[in-house]
Amino acid sequence: MHLIIDGFGNDPKVMQDERFIYELLDTYPAKIGMTKISQPFVLTYKGLKPEDWGVSGFVFIAESHISIHTFAERCYVNIDVFSCKDFNADSAIEFFREQFKLIKFSTRLLSREWDRMELSGVSDTSGSTWVADGKI
């Protein structure tokens, strides 16, 4: 599963709070039954355009990763929860909506699960072909 949330909040302090985002990434994996395998990495980014600054954070989980990128001046956030293990996407959306005080947002839920038969005969960009038993 790959949940993508893009949204606008109404609290700029939340969007620029490194500590808040660190704590969220540190505790959230356990809330959805995932296994955190790294400490969160969080930093403030100041780009070429002053209005593009924000906070980005990332945590590795055994099941994949969770990332957050804010644009503090716009009160905008991008969130990805990517996992090979199912989780309750509706609960995740509500959790992040509340945490970031989102007043307008969009979500996408992608299925990343392909069975071996679906991959059979599919070519990747390297020109290799995938078959039911592995790559040839």
Domain 2-135 classification at class level? alpha beta
Tell if the pTM clears 0.85, that is, is over it. no
Asked if residues 89 and 1 have their Cβ atoms less than 8 Å apart, the reply is yes
Examine the residue annotation and report whether 123 is marked as an active-site residue of this protein. no
Q: Choosing from 2, 56, 65, 69, which is the catalytic residue? A: 69
What is the largest distance, in Å, between two alpha-carbon atoms of the chain?
Answer: 52
Beta pairing class for 122-123 and 41-45 = unpaired
Q: Choosing from 2, 56, 64, 65, which is the catalytic residue? A: 64
Asked if residues 130 and 119 have their Cβ atoms less than 8 Å apart, the reply is yes
pLDDT per residue of the chain (136 residues) written in tens, 0 to 9: 899 999 999 999 999 999 999 999 999 999 999 999 999 999 999 988 888 899 999 999 998 999 999 999 999 999 999 988 889 999 999 999 999 999 999 999 988 666 655 556 555 565 555 554 444 4
CA end-to-end distance (rounded Å), the chain? 26
Q: Choosing from 38, 84, 120, 128, which is the catalytic residue? A: 84
Examine the residue annotation and report whether 75 is marked as an active-site residue of this protein. no
Domain boundaries, the chain: 2-135
